[in-house]
Chain A
Amino acid sequence: MNTTSILDIKNLHAGVAGKAILKGISLTIGPGEVHAVMGPNGSGKSTLAAVLAGREGYDITAGEARYLGQDLLELDPEERARAGLFLAFQYPVEIPGVNSTYFLKSALNEQRKHRGLPELDAIEFLKLVKEKIKLLDLNEDLLKRAVNVGFSGGEKKRNEIFQMAVLDPTLAVLDETDSGLDIDALRVVSEGVNKLKAPGKAQLVITHYQRLLNHIVPDYVHVLMEGRIVRSGGKELALELEERGYDWISRELQLAA
């Protein structure tokens, strides 16, 4: 095992209620790297993200995932978050009655506490929020509302990246953050994500379309189809996919088979 990697997935098999969805994923992400996972609808992209973040209800039938050298799959979702893993949801969840600011401050302080850092008080937190919210061009008033309640689709996605900016994760998994965004919002969100790039950190960008990768330029591109990574390459693979479509790979795979 590569001890310097951030994420190391080996032969991961996962499914739901007897249905296999991920059928042997292997993927290694090193510090400073941006990886893209591309694939058609239903290929298992969100399942991969959910399994990494620790959502309940999936059976891991084989394989392993190590994060910063620890067994990721052993950890509760909150332990993963505190260890610096962040999932930007494809469908951010509305939580009526829970104030956005209160929620995010509690989350941040929970994480800080577990890292031996002092908790931020209200003033320090507000300062941080003001700084990060500019990054996403998000209306500050949204933070007075309940989490994601009354947010537009685009606001929800930007709010995910805003949370990422505040929580400052080591590994960010972005699940179709581009879907539902118009071109301007896409640019803002991508710039936000790019500013969060750092040498010791990594990003796993999940997308269906290549267009996001014009803004968030990956070091590696992986093509996920029917629960398997069928091809990996550099950023030019994304362009090729854009041009020739997923069918091209399907056909090649069928020919090879």
Chain B
Amino acid sequence: MSAVAPATVRPVEPATEVDPWVQPFARLESGALFPQQPAWVFPLRKAGLARFAELGLPTLAHEDWRFTNVAPLKGLPFAPTLAAPTQRLADGELDARPFARLPGDRLVFLDGHFVPGLSRVGTASGGGVVTSLAAAFRTHAGLLERHLTRYAHGSANPFTALNDAYFTDGALIHVPAGRVIEHPVQLVFVASGEEEGRAQHVRNLILAEAGSQFTVVEHYLGRGTATTVTNAVTEVVAADQVVMDHLKFQDESRAAYHFAAVHADLGRASQVNLHSFALGSRVSRHNIHTALNGEGLECVLNGLYLTDGDQLADHYMVVEHAQPHTASHEYFNGILEGRSRGVFHGRILVRPGAQKTDAKQTNKNLLLSDDATVNTKPQLEIYADDVKCTHGATVGQLPPEQIFYLRSRGLPLETARRMLIHAFAGEIIDRVRCAPLREELDRLVWDRLEQDTQIQVGPHA
């Protein structure tokens, strides 16, 4: 590469551009930061770093990032939270937070480091594992070596590569064959938000053995006001006949940048639902990659984004039908206010031989202000001939004929609007299979809508 690049053509030299994200890696070279980690981990990190350096930070010129500008990250320091934070989470600090009252296992992390005092584990015993990744490097090293980074590997997403390099902690969930876990396993990731540029890199691995049934919630929240970065990667392996809901609830601070990716490898006759609720962050990007690797499986990608102000919520999906007789259904609804933006990118890839694929995709958007915008982009790549693929997108206001119908029965305009907005969000919430979780989500989303929207609450409501 030429040392003197003409400034007009190439404003930034890639080699120097990634420097701020590459340099902190030197702290990992000595091995002092994660002394417990087996020897095979460091090369994975190093490979991730190299891949990131190669990919660079995405720009708007990149097809997958056309609508989501991450350039402001360049104006932030990059401070990966490699060492445990000096701050503490107070004992009752999470009590008033969402899902706090749901029973079941819970792992709590602050800036990507495990907080044992607020965590509880026990219900998934009987051969199962719910533990922090850091601990699992000691107790389940073999399992991790077999799986960690295997499913997200090769991703073209620079943030995933960066996560490989810098991940600190996260969860290992391993559910044995046939086991049914009643209560959702909660993973709570708190960003301290007290220092500009703090970047937590969390990594989760969920291994569901054949026929197991359970729900996992990844809950991201922030407590400070500084501009922080979250970069999370979750790998999911669902064996045959697994019935699982994975739900991400993202409600970080309005200053935060949130990047996350879920890579799910799905087995025969499994029924996996991957949900994404995006409420917080200034900019959020959630990637879901599913590999439909077993006949007769059905997978649902289900999401709701609520944005206002200058928020941007980006969902990027890749559904890969790799075997015959698989079904995928994507349902994403957005409710947008202010000058906020929603992005939906849904790629459906049907591999040769994946006959009888049934792929359905819908993205519906409700614009509650004139300045909100949505970019929705379906992308179908079909290399088999006997398939059914449909997609549809809508962007609009509340249907006036529905509003009139409700008002004509005596309901005030505000109530009519609220009913319709609630119904729109409810379509998504209703697909969460775990009832207590669904009910809590309904309440949370509704509270948020009441707070954010210009809708006046009637005197009796």
Contact = CB atoms under 8 A, between A and B. Distances in A.
Interface residues of B, number: 23
A73 to B, nearest CB: 15
A77 B410 CA distance: 7
Contacts of A76: 407, 413
A210 interface: no
Contacts of B400: 56
A93 interface: yes
B420 interface: yes
B426 A97 contact: yes
Contact of A167 (B402, B406, B409, B420): B409
A42 to B, nearest CB: 20
Contacts of A92: 405
B154 interface: no
B427 interface: yes
A95 interface: yes
B324 to A, nearest CB: 32
Consensus secondary structure, chain B interface = helix
B365 to A, nearest CB: 15
A221 interface: no
B383 interface: no
B60 interface: no
Interface stretch (A107-115, A189-197, A200-208, A248-256): A107-115
Contacts of B402: 93, 95
A95 B410 CA distance: 16
B411 A107 contact: yes
A222 to B, nearest CB: 23
Interface in A57-89: 76-78, 80-82, 86-87, 89
Contacts of B178: none
A107 B405 contact: no
Contact of A95 (B408, B415, B420, B460): B420
A169 to B, nearest CB: 10
B391 interface: no
B34 interface: no
Nearest to A114: B410
A98 B427 CA distance: 10
A201 to B, nearest CB: 17
B407, B409, B426 pick with most chain A CB within 10 angstroms: B409
A170 interface: no
A87 B408 contact: yes
A97 B427 contact: yes
Interface string B406-444: 111111110110011011101100000000000000000
Contact of B410 (A96, A98, A110): A110
B400 to A, nearest CB: 7
B401 interface: yes
Interface residues of A, number: 32
B423 A106 contact: no
B421 to A, nearest CB: 10
A53 interface: yes
Contacts of B415: 106, 110
A163 interface: yes
B442 to A, nearest CB: 12
Contact of B401 (A80, A82, A93): A93
A98 B420 CA distance: 7
A146 B422 CA distance: 13
A96 B402 CA distance: 10
A53, A107, A113 pick with most chain B CB within 10 angstroms: A107
Contacts of A77: 404, 407-408
A55 B400 CA distance: 9
A106 B406 CA distance: 10
Nearest to B410: A81
Contacts of B409: 81, 103-104, 107, 163, 167
A110 B407 CA distance: 11
Nearest to B425: A97
Contact of B423 (A53, A97, A108, A110): A97
A108 B419 CA distance: 15
Interface in B362-409: 400-402, 404-409
A78, A80, A104, A146 pick with most chain B CB within 10 angstroms: A78
A232 B427 CA distance: 49
A82 B411 CA distance: 9
Contacts of A53: 404, 408
Contacts of A146: 423
A39 interface: no
Nearest to A108: B410
Interface in A146-195: 146-147, 163, 167
A218 interface: no
B412 A78 contact: yes
A30 interface: no
A54 interface: yes
Contacts of A167: 409-410
A108 B400 CA distance: 21
Contacts of A82: 410
Interface in B161-179: none
A98 to B, nearest CB: 5
Contacts of A87: 408
Nearest to A146: B423
A81 B426 contact: no
A124 to B, nearest CB: 17
A77 B413 CA distance: 9
Interface of A: 53-56, 76-78, 80-82, 86-87, 89, 92-93, 95-98, 103-104, 106-108, 110-111, 113-114, 146-147, 163, 167
17 contacts: A76-B413, A77-B407, A78-B407, A78-B416, A80-B408, A81-B409, A81-B410, A93-B402, A95-B420, A98-B406, A103-B409, A106-B411, A106-B419, A110-B410, A110-B412, A111-B410, A113-B460
Given A89-B405, A110-B411, 14 more contacts: A53-B408, A54-B408, A56-B404, A78-B410, A78-B413, A81-B408, A81-B410, A97-B420, A104-B409, A110-B412, A110-B415, A113-B460, A114-B410, A147-B405
Can you list the 4 inter-chain pairs with the closest CB atoms, starting with the nearest?
A97-B423, A81-B410, A107-B409, A77-B407
